[in-house]
Amino acid sequence: MERLQKVIAYAGVASRRKAEALILEGKVKVNGKVVKELGTKVSTSDTIEVNGVKLEKEDKVYFLLYKPRGVISAVTDDKGRKTVTDLFKKHVTERIFPVGRLDYDTSGLLLLTNDGEFAYQMTHPKFKIDKTYIARVKGVPTIEGLKKLQRGIKLEDGKTAPAKVSMTSFDEKAGKAICEITIHEGRNRQVRRMFEAIGTPVVKLKRERFAFLDLGGLVPGEYRQLTKHEVKLLRVLADTGKID
């Protein structure tokens, strides 16, 4: 079950905020009845109409993108910057959206889909789906600094969950290091803020893995469709916390 305004937004009809306004104005029907409650939840079997036009049910699609730096993890951008969905427009007709986000200056593995339930499972912290990043940082983290990240570190929006962190290389003379970090949360600019909190700000950041998925030879801007088996395994991982 999904909130009605969320389903309308995912269908590409309007933004979430505009969808809420349409509901309050009585312009949305569910199974032939006008609905004005924002908390209304609907299922895939419900028939939804917006301004008298029925929402068409698309086949569910799932993509893995190697997001380049300098691209927005969004469907649209009010500043006219390139978005991740722009990379698909010539070949994908479904109204897809990014699963979570990667910052403008962060590259790497990003999933896109038109399946709201799947996106929720992949992004909500309670499902504990691991995301692994390679961070090039300014300065060399101390052992105690890395331990703080591993235990969870206090940020302005609360303490982070424990992370898996290791320093793969460093150059004391040049004052730089490369670290690998795995987290299952997805707060705004979280990895960058975590390293900044221990005094080694991120210079360059790339997401290498999402659960068991990796970039598999793709170059920035390239993408591939997930296999049915990969989608099934991701769902099992979210439901059970493990895959055999």
Tokens 């593995």 belong to residue? 109
| CA–CA gap between residue 105 and residue 6 (Å, rounded) | 27
- The catalytically annotated residue of 86, 103, 130, 214 is 103
| CA–CA gap between residue 104 and residue 99 (Å, rounded) | 15
| CA–CA gap between residue 64 and residue 98 (Å, rounded) | 10
Tell me, yes or no, if 103 is annotated catalytic.
yes
Residues catalogued as catalytic: 103
